[in-house]
Chains A and B, each alone.
Chain A
C-alpha cells in the first residue's frame, strides 16, 4: 500500500513514541479517546508560557497583548478549519462536553419547554445524551431517539415522523464506538424542513475528516482539542452568529460582561459572552499548533490515510479471526472512520486489553460512554482500536498478533 501520509516521519514528530511499554514499542490505538501530541503543540504551549504569558483581554502591556493575539489567533485558525462564516462564531470551552452543555443550558433553556421535542440517536456519546435527559427532568422536554440498523447505520425509515414538531436534532457526525459516519447534510435538510435546528457532535469528525459547517448546513457544531492532536482543557462550539447573539450567557463571571452594577449586568459581545473567567489561553496556542499541523498534512490526506488503514485493519481482523471476532461497525470504509470496536464471543474486553497491554498495544475496553448503544449491541463493553495519522500497517499487524495471543490465552 502506498500511503498518502509519510507515517514514519509523522511518528518522529511525536515524542511519546520514543518510549517503550513492557520493553516493546508503543502501539497507540486509543486516539478516539485522546490523541498524542506532536512536538509542535508542546513547543507552542511552552513558548506561550515562556515568552508572553499573561492573562488575555486584560492588560495594557506588550506581553498581554501578545498573549491575547495568540488566543484570538487560535480562534481564527479554528474558524478557518471548520469553514465558519466568522471567527466570532467560535466559542472556546473546556471540551466538547461543555460545548454540548452550552447548547443545552443556554439555547435550550431559553427555547424549550414542556413537550418540546429534541431528537437524538442511539449511537450518541453520553455528552449528547445526559444534557437532554437533564432537560427531560427539569423542563419536561420530550426526547426521541433515531434507532440504528443491523448494519450500524442510523435507521432513517421513520425520520420524518421523529422530526415532526421537533425543535432540535442533536447528532454525532461520527460514532466513537461504531466508527459510523452520519450524513449530516441529509439530516440537517430533514431537520430544517421540519423546523428544527441541528446540533452536531463533531468530537470524532473534526480530527479525522474535512469538516465544513457551511456545507453541513448545521446550526451548532461542537469539537474538542485533545482528540485533534491539541491539549486537554480546550474545546469549543461553533454556532451561527445570530443564534449566539440571541442566546443568554451560560456561566457568569469575569470577561463575559461589559458592565456589572449593583442591580444587574450587561453581557459582553459574542463570543466572549460565553467565555467566563480565565480561559485556557495557553492551551489555545497548543490547539492552534495542532490545527497548523493537521493543515500541513491536509485533512483530505488524513481521511484518505485512515480510510485505507481502516480497510487494511478490517480485512486483517476478518482474515485472522473469521467469525470468532465480531466487529461492531460498518464494513464499508466510505461510511465509517477509524474507530474499530470488536469483541470475541468468549473473552471479555478487559481481558483482551490486559493481554494487549503486555505487548505495548493501547486499546480501550469499556462502554465508551455510550451505554444506550451498548444496550442495542447487547454487549457490556467492547474493545476498541482507533487509528490516526501516526498509525500504520505495522501497528495493525501488532494488534492482530496480540489479539491472537489473547485468544489462545483464554481458550476455553
Chain B
C-alpha cells in the first residue's frame, strides 16, 4: 500500500509552500493559458513569453489555486521549462505525460509501457521525477498533469505544433 510519503515528497511540499515564478506577464506579447480540472476545482494559469530569435522560453509566470499536487506540479513545471528551447519544453511535456500514464496503461492492459518509455529516453526530468509517486494514486494524476496540459495550450497558441 503506497503511503503519504510516496505522494507528498519533500520537494513537492516545498514547491507547494513556496511556489516559484508566481505572477503575470503582459499579454501580448506573452500568451496566457488557463487549465481547469472541473472535478476538484484545480485551476492553473500559465503566462508564457518566447524569445522569437532563439526560440527559447524566455519567461514563465504561473497562477491559480488548487490542491498541493496541482500547484506544486505547476511550480515545478515553470522551473523546468524557463530558459529552455521550445523544442525541449515540448519534449518535457511528452516525457512527463508518459511518466504519468505508464502505470495507468499497464493497469488497463493497453500496453506494456514500452511505447511510452520511448518518450522518456534521453530526457532528464530531474526534480520532476519526485512526482512519479502520484501514479500510485490514480485519482491524483490529473492534478499533476494539469500544469503540463496548460503549458502545451500556451505553446500551441504562440506557435502551433507541427502536425
Contact = CB atoms under 8 A, between A and B. Distances in A.
A412 interface: yes
- Mostly, the B contact residues are mixed
A410 interface: yes
A32 interface: no
Contacts of A381: 40-41
B41 A409 contact: no
Contacts of A349: 40, 67
A60 B36 CA distance: 57
Contact of B8 (A22, A380, A409, A412): A409
A348 interface: yes
B38 to A, nearest CB: 9
Interface of A: 22, 348-351, 354-355, 358, 365-367, 374, 379-381, 409-410, 412
Nearest to A22: B1
Contacts of A355: 4
Given A366-B39, A410-B16, 16 more contacts: A22-B1, A348-B40, A348-B68, A349-B40, A349-B67, A350-B40, A350-B69, A351-B69, A354-B137, A354-B140, A358-B4, A380-B42, A380-B43, A380-B65, A409-B4, A409-B8
Interface residues of B, number: 21
A380 B13 CA distance: 21
- Mostly, the A contact residues are mixed
B3 A412 contact: no
Given A365-B40, A367-B41, A350 B7 contact: no
B17 interface: yes
Given A366-B40, A381-B41, A358 B3 contact: yes
Nearest to A380: B41
Contacts of B1: 22
B7 to A, nearest CB: 7
B83 interface: no
A350 B67 contact: yes
Contacts of B43: 380
Contacts of B7: 354
A374 to B, nearest CB: 8
B143 interface: yes
Contacts of A367: 41
20 contacts: A348-B40, A348-B66, A348-B67, A348-B68, A349-B40, A349-B67, A350-B69, A351-B67, A351-B68, A358-B4, A367-B41, A379-B41, A380-B40, A380-B65, A381-B40, A381-B41, A409-B4, A409-B8, A410-B68, A412-B17
B4 A354 contact: yes
A22 B3 CA distance: 9
Interface string B102-130: 00000000000000000000000000000
Nearest to B36: A380
Nearest to B16: A410
A375 B116 CA distance: 39
